[in-house]
Structure formats: C-alpha cells, structure tokens
C-alpha cells in the first residue's frame, strides 16, 4: 500500500478509508479517474494548482498530509471488512504528530474512527488539540453525496489557522 505522507506541524491531514484499487495500481493517492481530490484541493485554495496524483508527496509543501485508516489492504469501501480498519493506529499517529486538523475524506473512514452516525463538518471530538472534520468523499463512487461547500468551510478554517500562526508553546 502507499506510505503515509506525514510529518509534525501540518495544517491538515486528509484521511481516507483505504487506498483504492486504481490508486494502488498507480502507486499514488487518489488516482482513480473520477476522484475529485486533487481538483478540490486546488479549487478550494489549499494548493496553488491541481497536483497530479503522482505528485502526492508534494502536499507537504502546502502543510497537508495524507494517510488512511486501512494500511494493509487496498480496495473500495464496499470491499473492506471491519477488521481491516486500524483506528488505534491512526489515533497514535495523530497524537504523536499533532496536526491542526484531521479531515476524513468520507463517512466510512470517519465512522471507523468515531463510531457510527457521523455527520459532515467539524466535530466536537478532538484528539488533543487536533480538530476533526468529516468531508464528503471525493471518490467518483460517492458523487451523489458531493458537497463542495463543506470542503470550502474546511479550507476557510485552514486559512484562519495559518493567519493565527502556531499556538503558544508549539
């Protein structure tokens, strides 16, 4: 599967369920032909251009990280089993790296971490000082749930955090 693209001090870490089959074959995050991830980062102003999936490591330059809740298996959400998910491993990474925001790209990833019945937007739950957001999936298979507005609100929050700068003692 694909390695995490993580370091400490990130503005936002995007977390999917698992690397999709097309992405695993391409060796790049969000490489499926119908996936809107890279375009959405650009259109919301989180990046200054639409990155190509093969440039996925470049997200660090923008204060962005990438990971998945499932790290040992590739596949679409409907192909994943509950025991494929590793929410404890994700929590451990976030506690160690302390990004400003952990943003789940889709409800399946979020539900495996927070429990069932999750709603889009910023959550009350935090991991230390890390905000948690749930976003509509950028996957082509999830088009009927697409809402760019929630992604735009997240981008506004990231910009606000950047303007405030690091918290005292960070």
Write the CA distances from 157 to 111, 128, 154, 170, integer angstroms: 22, 18, 5, 19
Q: Dig out the tokens for 165 from the structure.
A: 């700068």
Write the CA distances from 75 to 79, 119, 154, integer angstroms: 6, 23, 26
Q: Check residue 139 and give its pLDDT.
A: 83
Q: How far apart are CA 58 and CA 107, in angstroms?
A: 26
Angle between helices 87-97 and 107-114 (to 10 degrees): 90
What are the backbone dihedrals phi and psi of residue 124, each rounded to the nearest 5 degrees, phi first?
-75, -30
Question: Are the C-beta atoms of 58 and 6 separated by less than 8 Å?
Answer: no
* Domain-wise residue ranges, the chain: 12-164
Q: Check residue 142 and give its pLDDT.
A: 61
Q: Check residue 70 and give its pLDDT.
A: 81
List of residues 6+ apart from 17 with CB closer than 8 A: 68, 69, 70, 77, 80, 85, 106, 108, 109, 112
Question: pTM, whole model, 2 decimals?
Answer: 0.91
Q: Consecutive sets of 10 residues in the chain, 170 residues long: mean pLDDT of each?
A: 94 88 90 93 97 97 94 69 80 96 93 88 95 91 77 97 72
The CATH architecture to which 12-164 belongs is: 3-Layer(aba) Sandwich (3.40)
């Amino acid at each position: 599967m694909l390695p995490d693209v993580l370091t400490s001090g990130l503005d936002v870490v995007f977390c999917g369920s698992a690397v999709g089959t097309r992405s695993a074959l391409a060796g790049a995050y969000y490489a499926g032909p119908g996936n809107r991830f890279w375009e959405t980062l650009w259109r919301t102003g989180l990046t200054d251009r639409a990155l190509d999936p093969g440039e996925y490591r470049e997200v660090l330059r923008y204060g962005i990280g990438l990971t998945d809740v499932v790290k040992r298996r590739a596949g679409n959400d409907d192909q994943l089993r509950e025991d494929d998910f590793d929410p404890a491993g994700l929590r451990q990474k976030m506690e160690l790296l302390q990004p400003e925001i952990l943003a789940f790209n889709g409800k399946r990833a979020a539900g495996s971490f927070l429990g069932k019945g999750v709603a889009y937007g910023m959550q009350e739950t935090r991991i230390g000082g890390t905000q948690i957001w749930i976003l509509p999936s950028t996957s082509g298979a999830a088009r009927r749930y697409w809402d760019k507005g929630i992604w735009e609100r997240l981008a506004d929050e990231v910009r606000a955090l950047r303007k405030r700068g690091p918290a005292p003692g960070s």
